[in-house]
Amino acid sequence: MKKSLVTVHTLAVLPLQDVSRAWLNYRKRGIGPEHTGELIRIATDSAQFDDEWNSEEMAAATHAMRALAQMKATEAVGPLLQFVGRCYLENCDDVANELRVVLGRFGPGALPQLESYLADTSEDSGPRGVAVDAISELADHDPSQRDACVAILTRQLERTFEKERDKELNSILVDCLLYLEAVEAAPLIQRVYESGQIDEDIAGDWTDAQVVLGLIEDDEEDDDEDEDDGDWQGYPGSRWENPEAPRWNEPAAPTWSDPGAIPNKSPKQRAEERAKARKKQKRKKK
């Protein structure tokens, strides 16, 4: 039987939803393991940077990344991680943010490569932050891997805090540990806050962190529910606390008719908030 042909055009014409929604079933579209090599080539082709963000090349690359993750083709993780650095060089946040989620969907088989990339000090903080978010996404998508993911992030935070003194990466690591409600990492997180090696515009302050981890109660009432200052609104009510909280990979977007309901933000959404926080901080310094 002749295998189906996978090209930029055949992928680009497929319907494309936001990465946090339900993905296509690529196997039903005739895309399987036999296409892995070509999918990696399309997914990491720099041609997607040459035109507008919604170009045919970029749409095809997005489908290729998702198909590889859906097939758990872990041989693609290395090339995709290396591609993250190119995304930053090209200032292509859209592709980098896609990879924050996609790399977390390869399953536990991807953890060794994600951990190795995260520990590589030759890489910049931004690309390594993508690996942090991917590990967080993996834990969120597969709760059975939560402890393993928390252990990896905690080990890296200890290294970054004690040896690298990288404020940005510290903040991203703390942000994701709080997202996973990693109370076991609380002593280390407290040391990072007390040292000042953290950007509170990205990760909040120690009081916020203690509330998220359940170490203290939040004694402040929110009088303005419409106000969104980016401080921890994604953590209370997360599905680690409430198993009925909606998953972001469901086909339909959740509706928040209940004023007390708080959406569980995806790594992509949290990364976008971090970028806004960094820009806000830069404006303050001017």
Q: Which helix (H) or strand (E) holds 139?
A: helix 125-141
46 contacts 52 by C-beta, under 8 angstroms: no
Residue 129 DSSP symbol? H
Q: Is residue 228 part of a domain?
A: no
Q: What percent of the chain has pLDDT over 70?
A: 74
Please state the domain count of the chain: 1
CA nearest neighbour of 115 among 165, 77, 59, 61: 77
- Helix count (H) and strand count (E) of the chain? 13, 0
Q: What is the pLDDT of residues 244-255, one digit of tens each?
A: 433 333 333 332
Q: Answer for the pair 169, 184: CB distance below 8 angstroms, yes or no.
A: no
229 occurs within a structural domain:
no
1 found inside a domain: no
Confidence (pLDDT) at 268:
60
What confidence tens digit (pLDDT) does each residue in 18-28 have?
Answer: 888 899 999 99
Instruction: Give the predicted TM-score (pTM) of the model.
Output: 0.79
What's the CA gap between 87 and 118, in Å, rounded?
16
Structure tokens at 74: 């872990």
In degrees, rounded to 5, the angle at the alpha carbon of residue 278 between the alpha carbons of residues 277 and 282 is 115
CA 273, CA 263: separation in Å to the nearest integer? 14
The pLDDT value given to residue 79? 98
Torsion angle of the four alpha carbons 189, 193, 194, 199, in this order, in degrees rounded to the nearest 10 = 160
| Full residue range of the structural domain in which residue 159 is found | 8-217+234-253+260-285
Q: What is the pLDDT of residue 250?
A: 35
Cα 137 to the chain's mean position, in Å?
A: 6
225 within a domain of the structure (yes/no):
no
**Amino acid in position 129:** G
| pLDDT confidence of residue 255 | 29
Asked if 68 and 34 count as a contact pair (C-beta separation under 8 A), the reply is: no
Return the number of other C-beta atoms located less than 10 Å from residue 101's C-beta.
29
Q: Is residue 111 part of a domain?
A: yes
In a domain, 222, yes or no: no
Task: Collect the ranges in the chain with pLDDT lower than 50.
Answer: 1-2, 223-263, 282-283, 285-286
3-state secondary structure of 270: helix
Domain for residue 3, yes or no? Answer: no
pLDDT at 68: 98
CA distance 224 to 30: 50
Q: What is the dihedral angle through the alpha carbons of 162, 164, 167, 170, rounded to the nearest 10 degrees?
A: -60
Contacts of 146 (CB under 8 A, 6+ apart): 139, 180, 240
Structural domain includes residue 74: yes
